Structure 1
Amino acid sequence: MRELIAPLLAWYREGQPFALATVVRTWHSAPRQPGAAMAVSAAGEALGSVSGGCVEGAVYELAQQVLRTGVPELATYGVSDDDAFAVGLTCGGTLQVFVQPVTPEHFPEFPAIGESIRSSEPVAVATLLDGAANPGAHLRVTPAETVGALGSARLNEAVRDHALGMLALGSTGFLHIGADGEQRGDELSIFVESFAPPPRMLVFGAIDFAGAVARIGKFLGYHVTVCDARPVFATKRRFPEADELVVMWPHQYLARTEVDERTVICVLTHDPKFDVPLLELALRTKAAYIGAMGSRRTHQDRLNRLRELGLTEPELARLSSPIGLDLGARTPEETAVSIAAEIVSLNWGGSGRRLAETDNPIHHPRG
Protein backbone atom coordinates (compact mmCIF):
# COMPACT_ATOMS: atom_id res chain seq x y z
CA MET A 1 0.00 0.00 0.00
CA ARG A 2 2.98 2.30 0.51
CA GLU A 3 3.14 3.32 -3.18
CA LEU A 4 -0.60 4.19 -3.19
CA ILE A 5 -0.74 6.18 0.02
CA ALA A 6 -0.70 9.72 -1.45
CA PRO A 7 -3.76 9.29 -3.72
CA LEU A 8 -5.56 7.21 -1.09
CA LEU A 9 -5.15 9.94 1.52
CA ALA A 10 -6.44 12.43 -1.04
CA TRP A 11 -9.54 10.29 -1.67
CA TYR A 12 -10.17 9.97 2.06
CA ARG A 13 -9.86 13.70 2.72
CA GLU A 14 -12.06 14.55 -0.24
CA GLY A 15 -14.78 12.32 1.21
CA GLN A 16 -14.41 9.79 -1.61
CA PRO A 17 -15.19 6.29 -0.26
CA PHE A 18 -13.03 3.49 -1.61
CA ALA A 19 -12.49 -0.21 -1.16
CA LEU A 20 -9.02 -1.47 -0.31
CA ALA A 21 -8.08 -4.99 -1.46
CA THR A 22 -4.98 -6.43 0.20
CA VAL A 23 -3.22 -9.74 -0.43
CA VAL A 24 -3.10 -11.39 3.00
CA ARG A 25 -1.89 -14.91 2.18
CA THR A 26 -0.32 -16.74 -0.77
CA TRP A 27 0.45 -20.33 -1.71
CA HIS A 28 2.76 -21.74 -4.34
CA SER A 29 3.79 -19.45 -7.21
CA ALA A 30 1.53 -16.47 -6.49
CA PRO A 31 2.64 -13.35 -8.40
CA ARG A 32 2.42 -10.83 -5.50
CA GLN A 33 3.41 -11.03 -1.86
CA PRO A 34 1.21 -10.34 1.20
CA GLY A 35 0.70 -6.61 1.49
CA ALA A 36 0.22 -5.99 -2.24
CA ALA A 37 -2.81 -3.73 -2.60
CA MET A 38 -5.40 -2.46 -5.03
CA ALA A 39 -7.92 0.31 -4.37
CA VAL A 40 -11.22 1.02 -6.12
CA SER A 41 -12.96 4.35 -5.59
CA ALA A 42 -16.70 4.94 -5.49
CA ALA A 43 -16.24 6.68 -8.85
CA GLY A 44 -14.84 3.47 -10.33
CA GLU A 45 -11.16 4.43 -10.51
CA ALA A 46 -8.69 1.63 -9.75
CA LEU A 47 -5.14 1.95 -8.42
CA GLY A 48 -2.53 -0.70 -7.70
CA SER A 49 -2.49 -4.44 -8.27
CA VAL A 50 -2.91 -7.64 -6.30
CA SER A 51 -1.81 -10.16 -8.91
CA GLY A 52 -0.19 -8.45 -11.87
CA GLY A 53 -3.39 -8.75 -13.92
CA CYS A 54 -4.61 -12.31 -13.27
CA VAL A 55 -7.55 -11.61 -10.94
CA GLU A 56 -7.86 -7.83 -10.99
CA GLY A 57 -11.21 -7.97 -12.81
CA ALA A 58 -12.75 -10.23 -10.17
CA VAL A 59 -11.29 -8.17 -7.32
CA TYR A 60 -12.62 -4.98 -8.94
CA GLU A 61 -16.16 -6.45 -8.97
CA LEU A 62 -15.82 -7.59 -5.35
CA ALA A 63 -14.56 -4.13 -4.34
CA GLN A 64 -17.62 -2.50 -5.89
CA GLN A 65 -19.82 -4.94 -3.95
CA VAL A 66 -18.03 -4.07 -0.70
CA LEU A 67 -18.55 -0.37 -1.40
CA ARG A 68 -22.29 -1.00 -1.87
CA THR A 69 -22.75 -3.16 1.23
CA GLY A 70 -20.10 -1.79 3.57
CA VAL A 71 -19.29 -5.40 4.53
CA PRO A 72 -15.67 -6.62 4.22
CA GLU A 73 -15.01 -9.80 2.21
CA LEU A 74 -12.23 -12.40 2.33
CA ALA A 75 -11.83 -14.11 -1.06
CA THR A 76 -9.50 -16.84 -2.31
CA TYR A 77 -8.33 -17.04 -5.92
CA GLY A 78 -6.57 -20.01 -7.48
CA VAL A 79 -6.47 -21.82 -10.80
CA SER A 80 -9.89 -22.21 -12.35
CA ASP A 81 -10.34 -25.70 -13.81
CA ASP A 82 -12.86 -24.46 -16.35
CA ASP A 83 -11.14 -21.31 -17.51
CA ALA A 84 -7.92 -20.23 -15.86
CA PHE A 85 -8.00 -16.93 -17.71
CA ALA A 86 -11.46 -15.97 -16.43
CA VAL A 87 -10.71 -15.56 -12.74
CA GLY A 88 -7.92 -17.87 -11.69
CA LEU A 89 -4.16 -17.48 -11.54
CA THR A 90 -2.56 -18.86 -14.66
CA CYS A 91 0.75 -19.14 -12.79
CA GLY A 92 -0.67 -21.99 -10.68
CA GLY A 93 -0.54 -20.10 -7.41
CA THR A 94 -3.27 -19.25 -4.92
CA LEU A 95 -3.81 -16.00 -3.08
CA GLN A 96 -6.24 -14.72 -0.48
CA VAL A 97 -7.45 -11.14 -0.69
CA PHE A 98 -9.20 -9.11 2.00
CA VAL A 99 -11.42 -6.33 0.63
CA GLN A 100 -12.60 -3.67 3.06
CA PRO A 101 -14.41 -0.34 2.79
CA VAL A 102 -12.36 2.71 3.72
CA THR A 103 -14.47 5.54 5.10
CA PRO A 104 -14.39 7.55 8.34
CA GLU A 105 -17.02 5.16 9.71
CA HIS A 106 -15.30 1.89 8.78
CA PHE A 107 -11.63 2.86 9.03
CA PRO A 108 -11.14 5.97 11.22
CA GLU A 109 -7.48 5.04 11.84
CA PHE A 110 -6.59 5.33 8.14
CA PRO A 111 -5.42 8.99 8.03
CA ALA A 112 -2.96 8.52 10.90
CA ILE A 113 -1.68 5.30 9.34
CA GLY A 114 -1.27 7.03 5.99
CA GLU A 115 0.65 9.95 7.48
CA SER A 116 3.00 7.57 9.28
CA ILE A 117 3.65 5.69 6.04
CA ARG A 118 4.18 8.88 4.07
CA SER A 119 6.64 10.27 6.61
CA SER A 120 8.49 6.93 6.91
CA GLU A 121 7.57 6.53 10.57
CA PRO A 122 7.26 2.89 11.69
CA VAL A 123 3.66 1.70 11.99
CA ALA A 124 1.95 -1.68 11.98
CA VAL A 125 -1.70 -2.28 11.12
CA ALA A 126 -3.47 -5.30 12.59
CA THR A 127 -6.73 -6.18 10.80
CA LEU A 128 -9.22 -8.73 12.07
CA LEU A 129 -10.13 -11.00 9.15
CA ASP A 130 -12.40 -13.70 10.50
CA GLY A 131 -13.43 -15.61 13.61
CA ALA A 132 -15.32 -12.72 15.20
CA ALA A 133 -18.41 -10.60 14.68
CA ASN A 134 -16.43 -7.52 13.66
CA PRO A 135 -14.23 -8.40 10.67
CA GLY A 136 -12.36 -5.38 9.41
CA ALA A 137 -11.63 -3.98 12.87
CA HIS A 138 -8.18 -2.38 13.09
CA LEU A 139 -5.40 -1.74 15.54
CA ARG A 140 -2.79 0.90 14.68
CA VAL A 141 0.45 0.10 16.45
CA THR A 142 3.54 2.31 16.73
CA PRO A 143 6.40 2.16 19.23
CA ALA A 144 4.74 5.07 21.05
CA GLU A 145 1.04 4.23 21.03
CA THR A 146 -1.74 1.80 20.13
CA VAL A 147 -5.03 3.07 18.69
CA GLY A 148 -8.19 1.12 17.85
CA ALA A 149 -9.65 -2.13 19.11
CA LEU A 150 -10.03 -5.68 17.86
CA GLY A 151 -11.87 -6.99 20.92
CA SER A 152 -11.03 -7.28 24.59
CA ALA A 153 -8.22 -5.36 26.25
CA ARG A 154 -6.25 -8.60 26.63
CA LEU A 155 -6.64 -9.36 22.92
CA ASN A 156 -5.53 -5.85 21.97
CA GLU A 157 -2.48 -6.11 24.24
CA ALA A 158 -1.47 -9.51 22.87
CA VAL A 159 -1.81 -8.37 19.26
CA ARG A 160 0.10 -5.19 20.06
CA ASP A 161 3.04 -7.22 21.38
CA HIS A 162 3.08 -9.40 18.26
CA ALA A 163 2.75 -6.39 15.97
CA LEU A 164 5.66 -4.56 17.60
CA GLY A 165 7.84 -7.62 17.14
CA MET A 166 6.87 -7.91 13.49
CA LEU A 167 7.40 -4.17 12.99
CA ALA A 168 10.93 -4.45 14.38
CA LEU A 169 11.65 -7.13 11.76
CA GLY A 170 9.78 -5.34 8.98
CA SER A 171 7.67 -8.47 8.49
CA THR A 172 4.07 -8.82 7.31
CA GLY A 173 1.90 -11.89 7.83
CA PHE A 174 -0.83 -13.86 9.58
CA LEU A 175 -1.43 -14.14 13.30
CA HIS A 176 -3.68 -16.84 14.76
CA ILE A 177 -4.69 -16.16 18.34
CA GLY A 178 -7.39 -16.88 20.88
CA ALA A 179 -10.45 -14.66 21.21
CA ASP A 180 -9.10 -13.20 24.45
CA GLY A 181 -5.47 -13.07 23.35
CA GLU A 182 -4.57 -16.64 24.30
CA GLN A 183 -1.31 -17.63 22.62
CA ARG A 184 -2.44 -21.24 22.17
CA GLY A 185 -5.77 -20.30 20.69
CA ASP A 186 -6.57 -19.96 17.00
CA GLU A 187 -10.14 -18.73 16.87
CA LEU A 188 -9.14 -15.42 15.29
CA SER A 189 -7.21 -14.72 12.10
CA ILE A 190 -5.45 -11.37 12.14
CA PHE A 191 -3.37 -9.88 9.35
CA VAL A 192 -0.47 -7.72 10.53
CA GLU A 193 1.07 -5.41 7.94
CA SER A 194 4.32 -3.68 8.87
CA PHE A 195 5.33 -0.36 7.37
CA ALA A 196 8.89 0.00 8.57
CA PRO A 197 11.02 2.83 7.19
CA PRO A 198 12.51 1.95 3.79
CA PRO A 199 15.75 -0.01 3.94
CA ARG A 200 18.91 1.97 3.30
CA MET A 201 21.28 1.79 0.35
CA LEU A 202 24.66 3.40 1.02
CA VAL A 203 26.55 4.18 -2.19
CA PHE A 204 30.17 5.21 -1.71
CA GLY A 205 31.99 6.90 -4.58
CA ALA A 206 30.38 9.73 -6.59
CA ILE A 207 31.19 8.32 -10.01
CA ASP A 208 28.94 7.84 -13.04
CA PHE A 209 28.21 4.25 -12.02
CA ALA A 210 26.95 5.56 -8.67
CA GLY A 211 24.31 7.66 -10.44
CA ALA A 212 22.85 4.59 -12.11
CA VAL A 213 23.02 2.57 -8.87
CA ALA A 214 21.23 5.37 -6.99
CA ARG A 215 18.46 5.41 -9.61
CA ILE A 216 17.87 1.67 -9.47
CA GLY A 217 18.11 1.72 -5.68
CA LYS A 218 15.24 4.22 -5.53
CA PHE A 219 13.30 2.06 -8.00
CA LEU A 220 13.71 -0.92 -5.65
CA GLY A 221 12.40 1.10 -2.70
CA TYR A 222 15.61 1.97 -0.86
CA HIS A 223 16.41 5.23 0.90
CA VAL A 224 19.58 6.07 -1.03
CA THR A 225 22.59 7.90 0.38
CA VAL A 226 25.56 8.80 -1.85
CA CYS A 227 28.78 9.59 0.00
CA ASP A 228 32.08 10.92 -1.33
CA ALA A 229 34.87 12.98 0.21
CA ARG A 230 35.05 15.25 -2.86
CA PRO A 231 32.45 18.05 -2.85
CA VAL A 232 32.94 18.79 -6.54
CA PHE A 233 31.51 15.36 -7.40
CA ALA A 234 28.91 14.77 -4.67
CA THR A 235 26.32 17.25 -5.95
CA LYS A 236 22.54 17.19 -6.29
CA ARG A 237 22.85 17.98 -9.97
CA ARG A 238 24.81 14.76 -10.55
CA PHE A 239 22.65 12.64 -8.22
CA PRO A 240 19.09 14.00 -8.32
CA GLU A 241 17.57 10.64 -7.32
CA ALA A 242 19.56 10.32 -4.09
CA ASP A 243 17.66 11.00 -0.88
CA GLU A 244 20.82 12.19 0.80
CA LEU A 245 24.24 13.45 -0.29
CA VAL A 246 27.12 13.34 2.16
CA VAL A 247 30.51 14.99 1.66
CA MET A 248 32.79 13.12 4.05
CA TRP A 249 35.45 10.48 4.04
CA PRO A 250 33.46 7.24 3.52
CA HIS A 251 34.76 5.37 6.58
CA GLN A 252 34.09 8.36 8.81
CA TYR A 253 30.49 8.58 7.60
CA LEU A 254 29.92 4.84 7.98
CA ALA A 255 31.24 4.95 11.55
CA ARG A 256 28.57 7.47 12.55
CA THR A 257 25.52 6.30 10.57
CA GLU A 258 23.02 3.54 11.37
CA VAL A 259 23.47 0.19 9.62
CA ASP A 260 20.97 -2.60 10.24
CA GLU A 261 20.14 -6.02 8.83
CA ARG A 262 18.31 -4.49 5.84
CA THR A 263 21.04 -2.05 4.79
CA VAL A 264 22.95 -2.63 1.56
CA ILE A 265 26.39 -1.10 1.00
CA CYS A 266 27.83 -0.50 -2.48
CA VAL A 267 31.48 0.53 -2.54
CA LEU A 268 32.26 2.01 -5.95
CA THR A 269 35.39 3.99 -5.10
CA HIS A 270 37.91 1.25 -6.15
CA ASP A 271 40.68 3.32 -4.57
CA PRO A 272 42.53 1.72 -1.62
CA LYS A 273 42.75 4.94 0.38
CA PHE A 274 38.94 5.12 0.37
CA ASP A 275 37.68 1.56 0.20
CA VAL A 276 40.04 -0.34 2.51
CA PRO A 277 39.24 1.65 5.68
CA LEU A 278 35.59 1.69 4.60
CA LEU A 279 35.40 -2.07 4.08
CA GLU A 280 37.21 -2.69 7.36
CA LEU A 281 34.20 -1.15 9.08
CA ALA A 282 31.50 -2.36 6.68
CA LEU A 283 32.39 -6.04 7.00
CA ARG A 284 31.90 -5.80 10.76
CA THR A 285 28.39 -4.32 10.52
CA LYS A 286 25.04 -6.10 10.30
CA ALA A 287 24.54 -5.03 6.67
CA ALA A 288 22.57 -7.44 4.48
CA TYR A 289 24.87 -6.89 1.51
CA ILE A 290 28.34 -5.44 0.98
CA GLY A 291 29.62 -5.18 -2.59
CA ALA A 292 32.76 -3.54 -3.93
CA MET A 293 33.63 -2.54 -7.49
CA GLY A 294 36.97 -3.35 -9.05
CA SER A 295 38.92 -5.92 -11.02
CA ARG A 296 39.82 -9.33 -9.69
CA ARG A 297 43.36 -8.09 -9.14
CA THR A 298 42.01 -5.15 -7.15
CA HIS A 299 39.87 -7.57 -5.14
CA GLN A 300 42.87 -9.73 -4.22
CA ASP A 301 44.84 -6.66 -3.20
CA ARG A 302 41.91 -5.53 -1.02
CA LEU A 303 41.67 -8.93 0.66
CA ASN A 304 45.37 -8.90 1.47
CA ARG A 305 45.15 -5.41 2.97
CA LEU A 306 42.06 -6.33 4.98
CA ARG A 307 43.70 -9.48 6.34
CA GLU A 308 46.61 -7.34 7.51
CA LEU A 309 44.07 -5.22 9.40
CA GLY A 310 42.84 -8.31 11.24
CA LEU A 311 39.66 -9.24 9.40
CA THR A 312 38.77 -12.92 9.60
CA GLU A 313 37.95 -15.22 6.70
CA PRO A 314 34.22 -15.39 7.64
CA GLU A 315 34.15 -11.58 7.63
CA LEU A 316 35.92 -11.40 4.27
CA ALA A 317 33.51 -13.98 2.84
CA ARG A 318 30.70 -11.45 3.23
CA LEU A 319 32.24 -9.24 0.55
CA SER A 320 30.72 -9.46 -2.93
CA SER A 321 33.60 -8.47 -5.19
CA PRO A 322 33.75 -7.93 -8.07
CA ILE A 323 30.31 -6.48 -7.39
CA GLY A 324 27.19 -7.75 -9.19
CA LEU A 325 26.13 -10.78 -11.21
CA ASP A 326 27.81 -11.95 -14.41
CA LEU A 327 25.57 -10.25 -16.99
CA GLY A 328 28.33 -9.04 -19.25
CA ALA A 329 27.44 -5.48 -18.21
CA ARG A 330 29.47 -2.58 -19.62
CA THR A 331 27.57 0.70 -19.24
CA PRO A 332 26.77 2.30 -15.86
CA GLU A 333 23.11 1.39 -16.33
CA GLU A 334 23.85 -2.23 -17.18
CA THR A 335 26.23 -2.45 -14.24
CA ALA A 336 23.53 -1.06 -11.94
CA VAL A 337 21.17 -3.80 -13.14
CA SER A 338 23.89 -6.36 -12.38
CA ILE A 339 24.33 -5.01 -8.85
CA ALA A 340 20.59 -4.81 -8.23
CA ALA A 341 20.15 -8.36 -9.50
CA GLU A 342 22.74 -9.63 -7.04
CA ILE A 343 21.06 -7.80 -4.15
CA VAL A 344 17.64 -9.21 -5.06
CA SER A 345 19.06 -12.70 -5.56
CA LEU A 346 20.74 -12.74 -2.15
CA ASN A 347 17.68 -11.25 -0.47
CA TRP A 348 15.34 -13.95 -1.76
CA GLY A 349 17.73 -16.88 -2.15
CA GLY A 350 17.71 -16.94 -5.95
CA SER A 351 20.39 -18.74 -7.94
CA GLY A 352 21.11 -15.94 -10.41
CA ARG A 353 20.68 -18.42 -13.28
CA ARG A 354 18.29 -18.08 -16.22
CA LEU A 355 14.81 -19.24 -15.17
CA ALA A 356 14.56 -21.18 -18.43
CA GLU A 357 17.44 -23.37 -17.19
CA THR A 358 15.90 -24.16 -13.79
CA ASP A 359 12.88 -26.00 -12.49
CA ASN A 360 12.78 -24.23 -9.12
CA PRO A 361 9.79 -22.15 -7.96
CA ILE A 362 9.84 -18.75 -9.66
CA HIS A 363 8.96 -16.89 -6.45
CA HIS A 364 11.18 -17.76 -3.49
CA PRO A 365 9.88 -17.42 0.08
CA ARG A 366 12.25 -15.35 2.21
CA GLY A 367 14.36 -17.51 4.51
Structure 2
Amino acid sequence: MEFEQSPRHLVAVFESPVAEALLRLGIEVGFRCTLVEPDPVRLQGLPRPHGDAFVGDLSTAEVTEYTDIVLTDHHRPEIGGTLKEALATKARWIGIMGNPKREGPHVGALRELGVPDEEIARVHRPIGLNIGSRTPAEIALATLAGLVADRNDRPGGFAF
Protein backbone atom coordinates (compact mmCIF):
# COMPACT_ATOMS: atom_id res chain seq x y z
CA MET A 1 0.00 0.00 0.00
CA GLU A 2 1.40 3.37 -1.02
CA PHE A 3 1.28 6.25 1.47
CA GLU A 4 -0.73 9.19 0.16
CA GLN A 5 0.16 12.60 1.55
CA SER A 6 -2.71 14.62 3.02
CA PRO A 7 -3.76 17.59 0.91
CA ARG A 8 -4.40 19.50 4.15
CA HIS A 9 -1.48 21.88 4.60
CA LEU A 10 -0.83 24.16 7.57
CA VAL A 11 1.67 26.96 7.08
CA ALA A 12 2.77 28.62 10.32
CA VAL A 13 4.52 31.90 9.59
CA PHE A 14 7.14 33.15 12.05
CA GLU A 15 8.99 30.97 14.56
CA SER A 16 7.33 31.28 17.96
CA PRO A 17 6.13 29.04 20.79
CA VAL A 18 2.66 29.09 19.19
CA ALA A 19 4.12 28.06 15.82
CA GLU A 20 5.99 25.18 17.44
CA ALA A 21 2.81 23.92 19.12
CA LEU A 22 0.77 24.41 15.93
CA LEU A 23 3.20 22.35 13.89
CA ARG A 24 3.55 19.62 16.49
CA LEU A 25 -0.23 19.26 16.97
CA GLY A 26 -1.01 19.92 13.29
CA ILE A 27 0.87 16.81 12.25
CA GLU A 28 -1.14 14.79 14.79
CA VAL A 29 -4.48 15.93 13.31
CA GLY A 30 -3.46 15.18 9.74
CA PHE A 31 -1.95 18.37 8.37
CA ARG A 32 1.20 18.50 6.29
CA CYS A 33 3.02 21.29 8.15
CA THR A 34 5.44 23.97 7.04
CA LEU A 35 7.18 26.69 9.05
CA VAL A 36 7.98 29.92 7.20
CA GLU A 37 10.63 31.99 8.96
CA PRO A 38 12.34 34.71 6.92
CA ASP A 39 14.92 35.41 9.64
CA PRO A 40 17.26 32.40 10.04
CA VAL A 41 18.73 33.93 13.22
CA ARG A 42 15.41 33.15 14.97
CA LEU A 43 16.01 29.44 14.38
CA GLN A 44 19.33 29.30 16.20
CA GLY A 45 19.63 27.37 19.43
CA LEU A 46 18.47 23.94 20.44
CA PRO A 47 16.85 21.79 17.76
CA ARG A 48 13.05 21.90 17.86
CA PRO A 49 10.36 20.18 15.81
CA HIS A 50 9.29 22.39 12.92
CA GLY A 51 6.76 20.20 11.17
CA ASP A 52 7.41 18.55 7.85
CA ALA A 53 9.30 21.41 6.22
CA PHE A 54 11.01 24.72 6.88
CA VAL A 55 11.26 27.48 4.29
CA GLY A 56 12.47 31.05 4.47
CA ASP A 57 9.83 32.55 2.19
CA LEU A 58 6.08 32.05 1.72
CA SER A 59 6.51 31.80 -2.06
CA THR A 60 8.32 28.47 -1.59
CA ALA A 61 5.75 26.96 0.81
CA GLU A 62 3.68 25.21 -1.90
CA VAL A 63 0.42 27.00 -1.04
CA THR A 64 -2.69 25.46 -2.63
CA GLU A 65 -6.44 25.64 -2.11
CA TYR A 66 -5.94 23.11 0.72
CA THR A 67 -3.59 25.40 2.65
CA ASP A 68 -4.36 27.29 5.86
CA ILE A 69 -1.88 30.07 6.70
CA VAL A 70 -1.46 31.31 10.27
CA LEU A 71 0.81 34.23 11.22
CA THR A 72 1.90 33.51 14.77
CA ASP A 73 3.31 36.94 15.62
CA HIS A 74 1.56 40.27 15.04
CA HIS A 75 4.55 42.39 16.07
CA ARG A 76 6.90 41.47 13.23
CA PRO A 77 7.68 44.21 10.71
CA GLU A 78 7.13 41.74 7.84
CA ILE A 79 3.40 41.19 8.53
CA GLY A 80 2.13 43.55 5.82
CA GLY A 81 4.24 42.11 3.03
CA THR A 82 3.72 38.54 4.21
CA LEU A 83 -0.06 38.92 4.39
CA LYS A 84 -0.18 40.67 1.02
CA GLU A 85 1.73 37.73 -0.43
CA ALA A 86 -0.59 35.25 1.34
CA LEU A 87 -3.68 37.01 0.00
CA ALA A 88 -2.33 36.60 -3.54
CA THR A 89 -2.15 32.79 -3.14
CA LYS A 90 -4.84 30.13 -3.44
CA ALA A 91 -4.83 29.62 0.36
CA ARG A 92 -8.13 28.38 1.75
CA TRP A 93 -7.83 30.34 5.00
CA ILE A 94 -5.51 33.10 6.29
CA GLY A 95 -5.30 34.31 9.87
CA ILE A 96 -3.10 36.28 12.27
CA MET A 97 -2.88 36.11 16.05
CA GLY A 98 -4.10 39.05 18.05
CA ASN A 99 -6.61 40.49 20.48
CA PRO A 100 -10.05 40.74 18.84
CA LYS A 101 -10.88 43.82 20.94
CA ARG A 102 -8.35 46.01 19.07
CA GLU A 103 -7.67 46.60 15.41
CA GLY A 104 -4.62 44.59 14.50
CA PRO A 105 -1.45 46.23 13.19
CA HIS A 106 -1.85 44.13 10.04
CA VAL A 107 -4.78 46.33 8.93
CA GLY A 108 -2.68 49.50 8.73
CA ALA A 109 0.28 47.62 7.26
CA LEU A 110 -1.89 46.21 4.46
CA ARG A 111 -3.56 49.57 3.78
CA GLU A 112 -0.11 51.17 3.45
CA LEU A 113 0.65 48.57 0.77
CA GLY A 114 -2.54 49.46 -1.12
CA VAL A 115 -4.48 46.30 -0.25
CA PRO A 116 -8.24 46.96 -0.58
CA ASP A 117 -10.46 46.59 2.50
CA GLU A 118 -12.34 43.59 1.04
CA GLU A 119 -9.03 41.72 0.77
CA ILE A 120 -7.97 42.79 4.27
CA ALA A 121 -11.29 41.37 5.54
CA ARG A 122 -10.20 37.91 4.33
CA VAL A 123 -7.58 37.85 7.12
CA HIS A 124 -9.12 36.15 10.16
CA ARG A 125 -8.45 37.55 13.60
CA PRO A 126 -8.76 36.05 16.17
CA ILE A 127 -7.45 32.75 14.86
CA GLY A 128 -8.94 30.20 17.26
CA LEU A 129 -12.08 29.07 18.97
CA ASN A 130 -13.11 31.09 22.00
CA ILE A 131 -11.92 28.72 24.74
CA GLY A 132 -10.02 31.27 26.83
CA SER A 133 -6.60 30.28 25.48
CA ARG A 134 -3.61 31.76 27.26
CA THR A 135 -0.61 29.48 26.69
CA PRO A 136 1.00 28.75 23.30
CA ALA A 137 -0.29 25.16 23.37
CA GLU A 138 -3.83 26.34 24.21
CA ILE A 139 -3.72 28.90 21.39
CA ALA A 140 -2.52 26.21 18.99
CA LEU A 141 -5.25 23.82 20.14
CA ALA A 142 -7.96 26.47 19.74
CA THR A 143 -6.61 27.43 16.30
CA LEU A 144 -6.46 23.85 15.03
CA ALA A 145 -9.93 23.08 16.41
CA GLY A 146 -11.28 26.12 14.60
CA LEU A 147 -9.55 25.20 11.34
CA VAL A 148 -10.87 21.64 11.50
CA ALA A 149 -14.41 22.88 12.26
CA ASP A 150 -14.25 25.44 9.45
CA ARG A 151 -12.79 22.95 6.98
CA ASN A 152 -15.54 20.44 7.85
CA ASP A 153 -18.26 23.12 7.67
CA ARG A 154 -19.16 22.63 11.32
CA PRO A 155 -20.38 25.28 13.79
CA GLY A 156 -17.28 25.12 16.03
CA GLY A 157 -16.66 28.49 14.45
CA PHE A 158 -14.73 31.57 15.40
CA ALA A 159 -17.55 33.60 17.01
CA PHE A 160 -16.58 35.65 20.04
TM range (shorter): 0.7 to 0.9
Q: Alpha carbons of 1:214 and 1:256: their partners in 2 closer, same or farther (altered >3 Å)? A: closer
Quick one: which of 29, 39, 50 aligns to 1:220? 29
What are the Cα deviations for residues 122-147 of structure 1, in whole angstroms up to 9, with x where unaligned? xxxxxxxxxxxxxxxxxxxxxxxxxx
1:291 alignment counterpart: 95
Shift of 1:329: 0.5
1:279 alignment counterpart: 83
Q: Which has the higher strand share?
A: 1
Q: Which amino acid aligns with 2:19?
A: A
Shift of 1:209: 1.1
Q: Let me know the Cα RMSD of the aligned residues.
A: 2.2
Q: Within 5 A, what are the aligned runs for 1:25-174?
A: 114-115=1-2, 117=3, 120=5
Quick one: which of 11, 18, 33 aligns to 1:209? 18
Shift of 1:217: 0.9
What are the Cα deviations for residues 138-188 of structure 1, in whole angstroms up to 9, with x where unaligned? xxxxxxxxxxxxxxxxxxxxxxxxxxxxxxxxxxxxxxxxxxxxxxxxxxx
CA contact (8 A) 1:276 1:306 kept: yes
Aligned length: 156
CA contact (8 A) 1:280 1:311 kept: yes
Q: Which amino acid aligns with 1:350?
A: R
Q: Where in structure 1 are there 5+ consecutive unaligned residues?
A: 1-113, 121-196, 354-367
Q: Where in structure 2 are there 5+ consecutive unaligned residues?
A: none
Quick one: which of 140, 148, 151 aligns to 1:347? 151
Shift of 1:230: 3.1
1:156 alignment counterpart: none
Q: How far apart, CA to CA, are the structure 2 residues paired with 1:210 and 1:264? A: 13
Q: How far apart, CA to CA, are the structure 2 residues paired with 1:234 and 1:198? A: 27
Q: TM-score when scaled to structure 1?
A: 0.39
Q: How far apart, CA to CA, are the structure 2 residues paired with 1:199 and 1:344? A: 10
What are the Cα deviations for residues 335-358 of structure 1, in whole angstroms up to 9, with x where unaligned? 1111012111211222227xxxxx
What are the Cα deviations for residues 62-92 of structure 1, in whole angstroms up to 9, with x where unaligned? xxxxxxxxxxxxxxxxxxxxxxxxxxxxxxx
Shift of 1:281: 1.1
Shift of 1:232: 4.0
Q: How far apart, CA to CA, are the structure 1 residues paired with 2:44 and 2:23? A: 13
Q: Alpha carbons of 1:235 and 1:347: their partners in 2 closer, same or farther (altered >3 Å)? A: farther
2:116 alignment counterpart: 312
2:131 alignment counterpart: 327
Shift of 1:228: 1.5
1:302 alignment counterpart: 106
Quick one: which of 268, 280, 286 aligns to 2:72? 268
Whether 1:229 and 2:38 are equivalent positions in the alignment is yes
Q: How far apart, CA to CA, are the structure 1 residues paired with 2:63 and 2:142? A: 23
Shift of 1:240: 1.9
Q: Which amino acid aligns with 1:308?
A: E
Largest Rg, 1 or 2: 1
What are the Cα deviations for residues 298-326 of structure 1, in whole angstroms up to 9, with x where unaligned? 51x32122123222233222111122121
Shift of 1:238: 4.5
Shift of 1:235: 5.9
232-241 or 197-206, which moves further after superposition?
Answer: 232-241
Q: How far apart, CA to CA, are the structure 2 residues paired with 1:309 and 1:210? A: 26
CA contact (8 A) 2:22 2:140 kept: yes
